[in-house]
Amino acid sequence: MPGFVYLILISSAACLAMSTLPSLAFVSGIIWGISLLLGGHFTSRNHMLLIFALNILLLYGLAGSSNLFFLLIFGTPSFIMGLLLAAKKGYYELQRWGMVSALLLVSLFIGLAYYNNGDVNTLHTELNQYLEDSIELAEESGFIELYEQQGISPEEMKNILAGAAQWFFMHLPALYYLQAILAVFLVLTLSAYISRKRNLPILTHKPFAEEIMPWQFVWAIIIALALWIWGRDQMTNMYYVGSNLLVVGAPVTVYYGLSSLKYQWMRITPRAQRWALIIFIMNMLVFTLPATIFIGLWGLFDSLLDYRKLNHKKEETR
């Protein structure tokens, strides 16, 4: 019973913070997610269901449907992972279904937003208004004159800002998906860390250097590139679907690319490690974009070619 009470208090406090302190919503959402996930170990399924139901009532009582996005990216995926943990499922099964549920729920959220269209148009209007206010503030503060001295005219500056605002608006779906992916990743990673510190026999996973991207994800990148190239000439909807998928896929491939590079780094001598680290940092500072693309491609091809022979090792241990 004490575990049940603690989970109610922690999850309710996190929901209260999400509703009343927007600046801390993401941090509060992570804490809420951790409490729901670890609830699968500390309490029963019926108690978990009761806690989650009380949390939803609290969220809707405080802010109504404005908390729907928090419920979709923090609450529901974490609750699903908690149920899987209660069923004695492993770390990677929790990760798989947590990510799948989060992406499906965000897809539903985006679909409803574009179907209603009101929220999308309102956001577009707010972005344009924010852009106009920013330009006006830049003119009053003298920033425009500073850019003029560097050869950038006020009209060019306005076009740059307008292009950035348009890019942001057209890639809102990708930003929503990235928030969902990051939320599930942090909830699961921090829950595993807490479990390890408390010596709990749950959420054990491989070292970072042995993480490898599921090969199925490569097909998502291939489809994204095809759509991006197909619609690039006329900037059609296909182009933006592809570019949104690429924006979502980029940090994922970079993550697994860093995992593969760390594996290679650990296999060399300590002296060579120091030089390799210096070269890596210099390349990231001087050639940031090319170096990032290289790391992403490394992670992408590693899932296909399996440089580290991790899949081969799995087969040997079966």
3-state secondary structure labels for all residues of 48-88: HHHHHHHHHHHHHHHHHHHHHHHHHHHHHHHHHHHHHHHCC
Confidence class for position 231, pLDDT limits 50, 70, 90: confident
Give pLDDT, residue 138.
58
**Strand (E) or helix (H) holding 23:** none
Q: pLDDT averaged over the chain?
A: 81
Structure tokens at 230: 């197909």
Query: pLDDT tens digits, residue range 80-124?
Result: 999 999 999 999 999 999 999 999 998 888 887 776 665 555 555
C-alpha separations of 238 from 75, 174, 221 in Å: 32, 14, 14
The whole-number average pLDDT for the span 158-177 is: 77
Structure tokens at 205: 């996973």
- What stretches of the chain show up as alpha helix (H) in DSSP? 2-20, 25-42, 45-63, 68-70, 76-86, 91-116, 118-141, 143-149, 154-170, 172-197, 216-230, 237-266, 270-286, 288-305, 310-317
Q: Please compute Rg for the chain using Cα positions.
A: 23
Q: Which residue type sits at 5?
A: V
> Which of 156-165, 184-193, 198-207 bottoms out in mean pLDDT, i.e. has the lowest?
156-165
**By C-alpha distance, which of 136, 154, 134 is closest to 144?**
154
Give pLDDT, residue 219.
85
Residue 68: burial class (beta carbons within 10 Å; 0-12, 13-18, 19+): middle
Contact by Cβ (8 Å): 260, 298: yes
Q: Which residue type sits at 250?
A: A
Contact by Cβ (8 Å): 289, 248: no
Q: What angle do CA 254, 186, 283 make, to 5 degrees?
A: 25
The whole-number average pLDDT for the span 122-141 is: 60
Please report how many Cα atoms fall inside a 13 Å half-sphere around the Cα of residue 120, on the Cβ side: 15
> Which of 6-10, 138-142, 251-255, 299-303 bottoms out in mean pLDDT, i.e. has the lowest?
138-142
Contact by Cβ (8 Å): 97, 84: yes
Q: Is the pLDDT higher at 89 or at 143?
A: 89
The whole-number average pLDDT for the span 23-41 is: 89
Does position 158 have pLDDT exceeding 90, yes or no?
A: no
Q: Is the pLDDT higher at 155 or at 181?
A: 181
**Whole-angstrom distance, CA of residue 17 vs CA of residue 180:** 19
The whole-number average pLDDT for the span 126-153 is: 61
The model's pTM is 0.81
**Whole-angstrom distance, CA of residue 265 vs CA of residue 274:** 10
**Where do the structural domains in the chain lie, given as residue ranges?**
1-113+173-205, 119-168, 207-318
Confidence class for position 1, pLDDT limits 50, 70, 90: low
Q: Is the pLDDT higher at 297 or at 129?
A: 297
